[in-house]
Amino acid sequence: MNLHVQMIGKTESTTRASQGWLDVSLKFLSSVKFGIAVMIALALVIILGTFIVQAPMAEPGQIEQLYAPQTRQILEGLGLFDVFHSSWFIALLGLLCLNITFASIDRFPGTWQYLRHPQRELDEESIDALPLNVVHSLKSDRPQLEEKVRGLLQSRGFQTSQSSPAGRTVIFGEKGKYSRLAVYIVHASLLLIFLGAMIDSIFGFRAYLSLTEGESSSQVELRGKNSVVRLPFQIRCKAAGVEHYTDGTPKKWWSDLVIVQNGQEVGSKRILVNDPMDYGGIRIFQSSFGSSGNPLEFVLTLKDQLGSAPLSVTLHPGETLPLEGHSLSLRVLQFLPDFAMHGSEIHSHSNEPNNPALQVEVTKSGGAQWKAWVVQKMPDFHASEAMPYHIRFESVRMSHFTGLQIAKQPGQNIIWAGCFLMVAGLLVSFYFSHQRVWALVRVNEKGESVLRLGGSANKNKLDFEKTFRALEQSLNPGFRRQ
């Protein structure tokens, strides 16, 4: 028997110890100090992510240029090159979510109980202790005074109740009581935003794809991770281009994209820098644009020395074009988009057609053949004086590439819902307050009706004071202040 009692005692003691440990843990997780500590840690991480180049946003080779190998190894080991997708950043967000959740669970029951069962009755001393209070007396019927007070409160939006304890009447009015729940609306919005961010970090990605006109691909590169992701569809660049201002500076880049799935075109759109394309939960942004360095066609003007009318011809790369009636054929041997000479060496500065030049071969039916360089911006330049023809380089149509940013963000809708909910919570918090008014009516020894009026508000107290003084003024005629 004694052994059985001892075992029961030990079990109860262990249970109490477990409950005590759980209570302490929950109290710690819901504490303001813990929440502030987690927010400080998150702020420091975000600062690090701002100062340290992040791999998903870095240009190819940028990290290697900025950081020494030893520094790069340490930062990569700590996950600081991709802070916002690191496991410990997600863990910090999770801890903050736990803190907000437990804090709300801990405090909400008391708030709800306070709203459901407000203190409707106050004695004279309690009303006199309120921040706003006033006392009036009048030789008037008590029921008439009570009806007037109740009517005035209701006309100003107060919900009223009335009780009659110990020979006096207490009229209680309140409005905006549910504005006290605004803090929980903000808490819920933060949870949604953090939840969406965690979903994006775990299940989303941000990748890049470069396509030339006419090219298509379903494989996108995760920058900074040296890996690729295969999309459930192909993206084809139908065309790409740029519009310029009158001074020649770029105005906007655009790309005509086509989505191909199971061999069928299922979507298309011309995207701009701030006008992406959405398909299948994946968003496609215009990220960059440029010349691929590969020409599509050339327009030339050919004129002989006999004074014949100039002949305009269109050539394509690799094409030998016979000119009927002239016993000639033309062929492009080389193309340089940005022609430059250093001594006797000819090369191109870049892939952009800043100073395009062609090496053209002219072949006569009799077998004579000439080669010459023609430069678009130097129409009088001719590298072969022996050629009996003058060739002018009019224009070139280049093949362009488009740089696309591919983002899968499954948590974005949740984040947007959290943002809208936060706006609603902040509006309620800033523009509404819980206002309460108590009016105690009794009859004094002289047979006069005495009105003791008091009120308080949890926020916007200056506005409430105006409301309270307006109530007093409405009741003031015929009264005298005690």
Q: Tens digit of pLDDT per residue, the chain (482 long)?
A: 554 444 455 555 555 555 567 778 888 888 889 999 999 999 998 888 888 888 777 776 778 888 888 888 888 888 888 888 888 889 999 999 999 999 999 889 999 999 999 999 999 999 999 999 999 877 667 888 888 899 999 999 999 999 988 778 999 999 999 999 999 999 999 999 999 999 988 888 888 899 988 899 999 988 666 688 899 999 999 988 888 788 767 788 899 999 999 989 999 999 998 899 999 889 999 988 887 778 889 998 888 776 677 888 898 888 888 887 778 888 998 898 888 887 778 888 888 888 889 888 888 887 788 888 888 888 877 666 677 788 888 888 888 889 999 999 899 999 999 999 999 999 999 999 999 999 999 888 777 788 899 999 999 899 999 999 998 888 765 454 44
Assess whether 70 and 134 both reside in one domain.
Answer: no
In this predicted structure, what is the pLDDT of residue 100?
Answer: 93
CATH at 476: 3.30.310.80
**Contacts with 122 (C-beta within 8 Å, 6 or more apart), sequence order:** 170, 438, 440, 454
Assess whether 72 and 166 both reside in one domain.
Answer: no
Closest CA to 136 of 450, 359, 415, 385: 450
Assess whether 136 and 195 both reside in one domain.
Answer: no
Strand ranges in 102-226 using DSSP code E only, listed in sequence order = 132-138, 159-163, 169-175, 205-212, 216-222
Backbone angles phi, psi at 436, to 5 degrees: -130, 140
Assess whether 83 and 126 both reside in one domain.
Answer: no
d(CA 406, CA 231): 10
Under DSSP, the state recorded for 117 is: S
**Contacts with 178 (C-beta within 8 Å, 6 or more apart), sequence order:** 115
- Domain span including residue 407: 187-292+402-424
20 in any annotated domain: yes
Assess whether 388 and 326 both reside in one domain.
Answer: yes
d(CA 15, CA 444): 60
181 in any annotated domain: no
**Contacts with 146 (C-beta within 8 Å, 6 or more apart), sequence order:** 162, 169, 171, 441
Assess whether 133 and 98 both reside in one domain.
Answer: no
265 in any annotated domain: yes
Assess whether 109 and 8 both reside in one domain.
Answer: yes
Assess whether 418 and 453 both reside in one domain.
Answer: no
C-alpha 128: how far from chain center: 51
Contact indicator for 133, 452 with CB cutoff of 8 Å: yes
d(CA 282, CA 410): 9
182 in any annotated domain: no
Contact indicator for 242, 254 with CB cutoff of 8 Å: yes
Assess whether 138 and 257 both reside in one domain.
Answer: no
Assess whether 104 and 152 both reside in one domain.
Answer: no
Backbone angles phi, psi at 42, to 5 degrees: -65, -40
Within 13 Å and on the Cβ side, how many CA atoms surround 403? Answer: 11
Report the domain count for the chain.
4
Assess whether 31 and 105 both reside in one domain.
Answer: yes
6 in any annotated domain: yes
| Token output for 283 | 């968003």
pTM of the model: 0.70
107-112 long-range contacts (CB < 8 A, ≥24 apart) are 108/184, 111/180, 111/181, 111/184
Assess whether 259 and 208 both reside in one domain.
Answer: yes
